[in-house]
Amino acid sequence: MSTARPQGPIDVVAGEISRTLARVDALDFDRFLAELRIPQRRWFCTGQGRSGLVAQMAAMRLMHLGHRTHMVGEATAPAITGRDALLVFSASGTTPLSLHFAETARGVSAAVVLLTATPASPLRRLADTALEIPALASVQFGGSLFEQTALLVLDAAVLALDTGDPHTRDAMQRRHANLQ
């Protein structure tokens, strides 16, 4: 028998996430999905700190969907080209290394797709498409709310892209790691 827990930190986190997700712009989300649907595009994913961990999860799910994906900085990542896209996770939109990567991508005419909490930022000015995750007001430490919500927005995008099609799900399962 379980007992109800008193309202506390779990409710605070869940409430912050729920309010932030409710404020994600539907048209911007659709534009983000449209970018992910472009065929034959390789995706290079990046973010710094915990946003980098979300970028790794993004790369994994895009690979499960059948996209060719790479993590920026990995030893096996090839050169980005004008046919590719850089997916950047940056709450502040000012992270120097992410800015450098976006400038490099723009320099070869690759698309830059940004998930950020700060719509007016240097990274936003470099991005072709940006999805704002309005996660600035939080009682949690650091950028936790941005990282949590960005992951859930990414999972919602994967859900929209796989559309529950059993053939897509079967293909995703076949691509799932088996060396674990």
Catalytic site includes residue 35 = no
- Give Cα separations from 43 to 4, 33, 124 (angstroms): 44, 13, 18
Instruction: Report the alpha-carbon distance of residue 145 to residue 33 in Å, rounded.
Output: 22
41, two tokens: 């595009």
Catalytic one of 16, 35, 132, 147: 147
Instruction: Report the alpha-carbon distance of residue 180 to residue 144 in Å, rounded.
Output: 28
Going by the DSSP 8-state scheme, the letter that residue 178 receives in this structure is -
Nearest to 104 by CA among 57, 64, 46, 148: 46
Instruction: Report the alpha-carbon distance of residue 132 to residue 110 in Å, rounded.
Output: 20
Where in the sequence numbering do the catalytic residues fall? 147
